Amino acid sequence: MVDPSQHLFWITSRAAGTTALLLASAGVSAGLLMGTRLVRGRRAGDLRALHEVLSLATLASIAVHGLSLVGDRFLHPSLGDVLIPFAFGYHRVWTTAGIFAGWGLTALGLSYYARGRVGAARWRAAHRFTALAWVLGVAHALGEGTDAGTAWFLVLAGVAVLPAAVLLSARLGGLRRPALDRRSAAPSRA
């Protein structure tokens, strides 16, 4: 019988990484839905709150995923190895993709709280890069993850990733919220 305490950090990292993938995919889906014609009114406000909660939970899962590896007895990564791109030699390309994804999601997610200082238009333009960070995270999970080749993981990842990928494709293909009609938004001068 294998003693799980010998692999506690590795197991924690795997669980947090899988959780981060699921939460990030749901968060990206919610964010993309907010930018379409499909959700309006009160539901849009509920979706915005859900998007924020999913984003913060994703960031917490990413932090646990990376930092728990520092305690792993097999890989022995340093704090720099899990925080600095190209520093760690283990699956360098996939690890670096994950580090870029983690930093990208962190910076772009937390930028929401600075949008008043940055300006809404500038913030929205930068926030669009969240999809790129998410794609890097998906590549990291499928390219390096211990469970990446297992049927259960592929099904779970597919269920989470495919809706976000479809919404992203639709968004890139032109599905957007309609622009406000300036004539109807202007106050009447009767």
Model's pTM, two decimal places?
0.86
Hey, how many other C-beta atoms are within 10 angstroms of the C-beta on 50?
Answer: 17
Q: pLDDT tens digit string along 133-179?
A: 999 999 999 998 789 889 999 999 999 999 999 999 998 887 665 55
* Cα torsion 46, 49, 53, 56: sign: positive
pLDDT for res 189: 43
pLDDT for res 101: 97
Hey, how many other C-beta atoms are within 10 angstroms of the C-beta on 16?
Answer: 20
Q: pLDDT tens digit string along 86-134?
A: 998 888 899 999 999 999 999 999 999 999 999 999 999 999 999 999 9
Rounded Cα distance, 152 and 156, in Å: 6
- Quick one: average pLDDT of 49-62? 97
